[in-house]
Every structure is written in structure tokens, then in C-alpha cells.
Amino acid sequence: MPIHEVSLIKPENIIEHEELIIDGVDVSGHWSTFIEPRAVTDYNEEMEKEISGLAGGEFIHRCWQCGSCTNACTINAMNSDFNPRYWIYLIRMGMEDELLIDKDIIWQCVSCNKCTSACPRDVNPEGVMKATAHWLELKGHTPKPNSMIFDEGFSEQVFKTGKIEDGLVLRDFLSKSGQSLNQPWLISMVFGLVKKLPLTMLTRLGLATFFRPKTRDWGNARAAIEEYVAEKEVEKHQLLGLDGHQQKDMENG
């Protein structure tokens, strides 16, 4: 539903006491109904700083709220609650409570980048959606999405060996995201490969599964990448004001 059609009264703001007597007068039930004020009483200036510090969010301050992104949006066409223009505003003004109402749909961005082409100010709304989803996750508002689990496993392997082995990427992803290997699509894909691929290629695939090849002389590159990634992680945690405890949880989780 577009913003201007959303009811201004949120259910959680309606306060009603089943039993209430004030000065001897029984005001139980709807006689005691009142609605908490909706006024915004402060701007949280940190929020824009945090999200603009994450990859993709760098140009959020350029937004002038024209709504081109929302109009162009693939997901908005299916779910009008998905409103990048509105979220960008909430982030800029630091209206965290309001943003959190939509925390479970922000990750749905499919990165089609139609907004990126439509945006007259080069805000890169698609990047902002990514940064926001990442921020929500880092702050513990949303669980780590499968796409992030996949990306992490993928990068981990590249960092370690300089190469990727598709089978391992897949197995790693399925196990970390709590999914069974027994997936019909996976089984039919493997059978398809066995049937159609030439023998030499199959042999190579098979060998790679057991003897994981590494890029030659990868050690130095690996050390440099790991150092850089660690540095970036520390920066990110400082930027978001995450304490050591949360950081540990994140690394484990």
C-alpha cells in the first residue's frame, strides 16, 4: 500500500485498559482508549553515517526524494510496501523505528538496477538497499540471509585457495544454510552432468572434488587479502558501534 494510504494509527500505538478506574470512575475497555503520539522527537544522525559507510550506501545523501527509484522498482510493482524512496528518507532522517517496520522485506531487492538507471542524482538506490540489508543484519535486526551465507562461503574459498570448487561451494552453502543435500534440482543437475559431459571433463571435476587444487604461490596474496578483509571488518564494526561481543557472535554465526 502506498505510504499515503497507510493508516496513520498503528495497532501498537493504541492503548486500552481492560480494567481501569480513575478517581472512582470506571473507564474500563474502550472508555480508556488512547493513541500514543506519532510525533518524531529527534533525528538520529548516526544512522545515515552508518549506512552510507557500508558498500553501496555512499551516495544516499544525494537523494531529493523524487520517487523515480520506487516507480522503476520491480519489487514495488508486486509489493507496494517495498519503497526504496521512503526507506532512503527514513535512513537520512534517522527514523530507525519506522525503518524496522519493513525490515523483513528490505532484503527482497533483486538488484535489477532499474532504479539505478532511473535515478537523476546517481544515488545508486540498489546499492543502498544492499547496504541497508547488511546494516540490518549487522545490527542484529534480521538473520543472515542465504545470499550472504553463499557469498561468504564463496569468498572464503577464494581467499583460502585462490580458486573455487563448485561442488564444495554448493555443499558448504547447503550445510551452512541448514538445507539438505537431497535436493531434487541438484540430483537432476548431477545426473545431467554425468550424462552429457565428456569423460575428460568429468574426470577433472571428480579429481578436483577430492584433491582441491590451489593457485600456485597463493600464500602472499592470501595473506594480503586476509589482512585487508580484517581491516575492513574492524572499520565496519567501529562505524556501526558494534561491541566485541556482538562482533564475536557475528564471526561465529
Interface contacts to other proteins, rule CB under 8 A: 3-4, 8, 37-43, 45, 61-62, 64-65, 86, 89-90, 92-93, 95, 98, 121
Pick the closer one to other proteins by CB: 2 or 140. Answer: 2
Half-sphere exposure of 90 (CA within 13 A, CB side): 19
What span, in angstroms and rounded, lies between the C-alpha atoms of 250 and 253?
5
What span, in angstroms and rounded, lies between the C-alpha atoms of 127 and 122?
11
Q: Which grid coordinates are listed for 31?
A: 472508555
CB of residue 89 to other proteins, shortest distance in Å: 5
CB of residue 65 to other proteins, shortest distance in Å: 6
Pick the closer one to other proteins by CB: 90 or 115. Answer: 90
Pick the closer one to other proteins by CB: 38 or 214. Answer: 38
> Does residue 126 contact residue 111 with C-beta atoms inside 8 Å?
yes
CB of residue 217 to other proteins, shortest distance in Å: 44
Pick the closer one to other proteins by CB: 25 or 39. Answer: 39
CA angle at 71 for the pair 48 and 38, rounded to the nearest 5° = 50
Buried b (16+ CB within 10 A) or exposed e, 166-204: eebbbebbbeeeeeeeeeeeeeeeeeeeeeeeeeeeeee
CB of residue 57 to other proteins, shortest distance in Å: 13
- Provide CB contacts within 8 A for 217, sequence distance 6+: none
Alpha helices in 122-214 (DSSP H): 125-138, 146-161, 166-176, 184-196, 199-210
Pick the closer one to other proteins by CB: 101 or 168. Answer: 101
> Does residue 226 contact residue 159 with C-beta atoms inside 8 Å?
yes
Pick the closer one to other proteins by CB: 58 or 156. Answer: 58
Pick the closer one to other proteins by CB: 20 or 40. Answer: 40
CB of residue 12 to other proteins, shortest distance in Å: 15
CB of residue 63 to other proteins, shortest distance in Å: 8
What span, in angstroms and rounded, lies between the C-alpha atoms of 34 and 170?
54
CB of residue 71 to other proteins, shortest distance in Å: 15
